Amino acid sequence: MAAVSLAKDKIKVLLLEGVHDSAVEVFKQHGYVSIEWLKTSLSEEELCERIQDVHFLGIRSRTQLTEKVFAAAQKLAAVGCFCIGTNQVDLEAAKRHGVVVFNAPFSNTRSVAELVLAEIIMLLRRIPERSAGCHRGDWQKSAAGSYEARGKILGIIGYGHIGSQLSILAEQLGMQVRYYDIETKLSLGNALQVRSLNELLQSADVVTLHVPETPQTQWMISASELAVMKPGSVLINASRGTVVDIEALASALKSEHLAGAAIDVFPLEPKSNNEEFLSPLRGIDSCILTPHIGGSTQEAQANIGVEVAGKLVHYSDNGSTLSAVNFPEVSLPSHAGTRRLLHIHENRPGMLTQINQIMADAHLNVAGQYLQTDSKVGYVVIDIEVQDQGEQADELLAQLRTIPGTIRARVLY
Ligand SMILES: NC(=O)C1=CN([C@@H]2O[C@H](COP(=O)(O)OP(=O)(O)OC[C@H]3O[C@@H](n4cnc5c(N)ncnc54)[C@H](O)[C@@H]3O)[C@@H](O)[C@H]2O)C=CC1
Ligand SMILES: O=C(O)C(=O)COP(=O)(O)O
């Protein structure tokens, strides 16, 4: 029987959205040669067409991976999100199709925190309006409405990696940090966790959002929340565009209830740099608008490239799903001297019995077996000692694939 596992030159990698060169380098260093790199994202239709022979896909926040895309991706083993957020991926659909999804949980954390820190100072000093005024020839040399950050209350919504990193930096500026999070968190420095969103909104001079996109965070800041905010306070959103009702924000800025805002993410973002950016916030001088660049620094992008490509290569070469965001996590030792069989299956009763029966019937020594399951899928890894060139492993793989409920199976030599 022909070898079922692929030689590296047959493994196809597709990297979208201008993923950093460092990712390409990692794949090359590990012997992967078929790497396609595109500057842009692809639509669902284009993806369904191009993904059919792709084994590893790299995206950033723009590319939407739907059930339809996964159904078309017959050979896809894993997706790397070269960013933090994974809301652009239907993670459950990926799992149903046996596709493991990885991300870079903190490679751009610092970049976002630094940008937000800068925006806090800019907004408290009313720099956006002053700068816009100067561009029009308007000279407003005045301290009216301008404040130091020192002593002001910073309200952080979502005290995860970014929120807590910002908390430390803001305290060094002399700000008083309060935060709201659905989880009980370790407060760093002198930060104080408050019990309700309203409590935070009522007291903060600056409110900044660092929550993921979830059903609970959708339109979390709408007209009623904006109304609760202190008159003259400012709002920053570098999380996801669906968290803030942008029409309501535009009204709050126009009425000057809020003194300013800095918005990096939008409910609808242009699909490419050639598309026009449309937003009700355009033309409001007190609002800093940035094109979703919170995590876009050279340092962050280079680190993300290495981290996520490394995870994809490790999954390809070794089978490890450690730090996957949608899959049972299995951390595996090297399999030198053995053949490694990887079996992803629906979590049904009797699955392990059938797998082990195939191993028992083969009369081969099992050098190691690893198993992790969740309520939907199971991932079994079996290292077998064989003396031949791979024929026995191929035969076993073919048998494993006949087990009803098998989603994907492969062998590593
Ligand atoms: N603008 C940009 O370029 C970037 C944007 N992001 C966005 O920032 C988000 C946050 O990133 P991290 O801090 O790394 O995530 P994280 O997962 O470390 O922290 C998120 C925090 O939000 C909390 N949370 C979740 N739901 C909540 C709710 N309903 N109310 C209050 N708190 C809630 C969580 O408990 C957690 O503490 C990402 O999910 C991503 O969408 C991340 C990187 C770059
Ligand atoms: O890391 C994230 O979640 C981001 O939002 C950054 O997305 P990007 O890689 O800049 O498309």
Segment 18-49, tens digit of pLDDT: 999 999 999 999 999 999 999 999 999 999 99
Does the Cβ of 95 fall within 6 Å of ligand 2?
Answer: no
Q: Any idea what DSSP says for residue 43?
A: -
CA of 14 to the centre of ligand 1 (A): 27
Q: What is the pLDDT of residue 271?
A: 86
Query: Are residues 251 and 280 located together in one domain of the fold?
Result: yes
The letter for the amino acid at 12 is K
Residues designated as active site: 240, 269, 292
CA 259/CA 124 separation, integer angstroms: 8
CA of 83 to the centre of ligand 2 (A): 5
CATH of the domain at 271: 3.40.50.720
Smallest-distance ligand from the CA of 196: 1
β-bridge pairing 78-81 and 100-102? parallel
Q: What is the pLDDT of residue 120?
A: 99
Q: For the whole model, what pTM was predicted?
A: 0.94
Rounded (10°) CA dihedral 366, 30, 76, 352: 10
Could you report the per-residue pLDDT of 256-310, keeping only the tens digit for each? 999 999 999 999 999 888 999 999 999 999 999 999 999 999 999 999 999 999 9
**Two structure tokens written together for 354:** 């059938």
Cα→Cα distances 270→82, 89, 107, 108, Å: 19, 18, 24, 21
Smallest-distance ligand from the CA of 213: 1
Query: Are residues 49 and 137 located together in one domain of the fold?
Result: no
Band of pLDDT at residue 388, cut at 50, 70 and 90: confident
- Whether 232 shows a pLDDT value over 80: the answer reads yes
CA of 202 to the centre of ligand 2 (A): 30
Q: What is the pLDDT of residue 337?
A: 83
Does the Cβ of 83 fall within 6 Å of ligand 2?
Answer: yes
Q: What is the pLDDT of residue 272?
A: 86
Does the Cβ of 89 fall within 6 Å of ligand 2?
Answer: no
Q: What is the pLDDT of residue 230?
A: 98
Mean pLDDT to the nearest integer, 183-193: 98
- Whether 219 shows a pLDDT value over 50: the answer reads yes
Does the Cβ of 61 fall within 6 Å of ligand 2?
Answer: yes
Q: What is the pLDDT of residue 2?
A: 35
Could you report the per-residue pLDDT of 72-107, keeping only the tens digit for each? 999 999 999 999 999 999 999 999 999 999 999 999
Query: Are residues 303 and 369 located together in one domain of the fold?
Result: no
Q: What is the pLDDT of residue 336?
A: 85
CA of 42 to the centre of ligand 1 (A): 25
- Whether 3 shows a pLDDT value over 50: the answer reads no
Cα→Cα distances 29→33, 37, 273, Å: 9, 16, 31
The β-bridge partners of 182 are none
CA 411/CA 6 separation, integer angstroms: 9
CATH of the domain at 362: 3.30.70.260
Band of pLDDT at residue 322, cut at 50, 70 and 90: very high
Does the Cβ of 280 fall within 6 Å of ligand 2?
Answer: no
Query: Are residues 116 and 132 located together in one domain of the fold?
Result: yes
Query: Are residues 112 and 259 located together in one domain of the fold?
Result: yes
- Whether 210 shows a pLDDT value over 60: the answer reads yes
Query: Are residues 283 and 304 located together in one domain of the fold?
Result: no
Could you report the per-residue pLDDT of 122-133, keeping only the tens digit for each? 999 999 999 999
Query: Are residues 192 and 67 located together in one domain of the fold?
Result: no
- Whether 5 shows a pLDDT value over 80: the answer reads no
Ligand 2: atom nearest CA of 85 is: 3
Cα→Cα distances 223→241, 247, 250, 266, Å: 15, 9, 10, 17
- Within 6 Å (CB) of ligand 1, which residues are found? 84-85, 108-109, 112, 157-163, 180-183, 210-214, 216-217, 238-240, 264-265, 292, 294-295
Q: Which domain holds residue 305?
A: 1-103+297-327
Determine contact, residues 241/218, Cβ cutoff 8 Å. no
CA 47/CA 44 separation, integer angstroms: 5
Q: What is the pLDDT of residue 364?
A: 85
**Two structure tokens written together for 339:** 């053949």
Residue 26's φ and ψ, nearest 5 degrees, are: -60, -45
- Give the end of a domain, one of 277, 311, 327: 327
Could you report the per-residue pLDDT of 323-375, keeping only the tens digit for each? 999 999 999 999 888 899 999 999 999 999 999 999 999 988 899 999 999 99
Does the Cβ of 410 fall within 6 Å of ligand 2?
Answer: no
Percentage, residues of the chain above pLDDT 90? 92
Burial class (CB in 10 A: 0-12, 13-18, 19+), 79: buried
Ligand 2: atom nearest CA of 293 is: 10
Query: Are residues 47 and 87 located together in one domain of the fold?
Result: yes
The count of domains in the chain is 3
Query: Are residues 320 and 333 located together in one domain of the fold?
Result: no
Ligand 2: atom nearest CA of 81 is: 9
Three-state SS for 218-287 is CCCECHHHHHHCCCCEEEEECCCHHHECHHHHHHHHHCCCEEEEEECCCCCCCCCCCCCCCCCCCCCCCE
- Give the end of a domain, one of 262, 289, 316: 289
ipTM over 0.90: yes
Query: Are residues 86 and 140 located together in one domain of the fold?
Result: no
Pocket probe for ligand 2: among 16, 61, 263, the residue whose CB has the most ligand atoms within 8 Å is 61
Nearest to 94 by CA among 50, 45, 60, 57: 57
Mean pLDDT to the nearest integer, 203-219: 98
Query: Are residues 313 and 270 located together in one domain of the fold?
Result: no
CA 212/CA 160 separation, integer angstroms: 10
Query: Are residues 98 and 180 located together in one domain of the fold?
Result: no
CA 64/CA 258 separation, integer angstroms: 33
Tell me the average pLDDT of the chain. 95
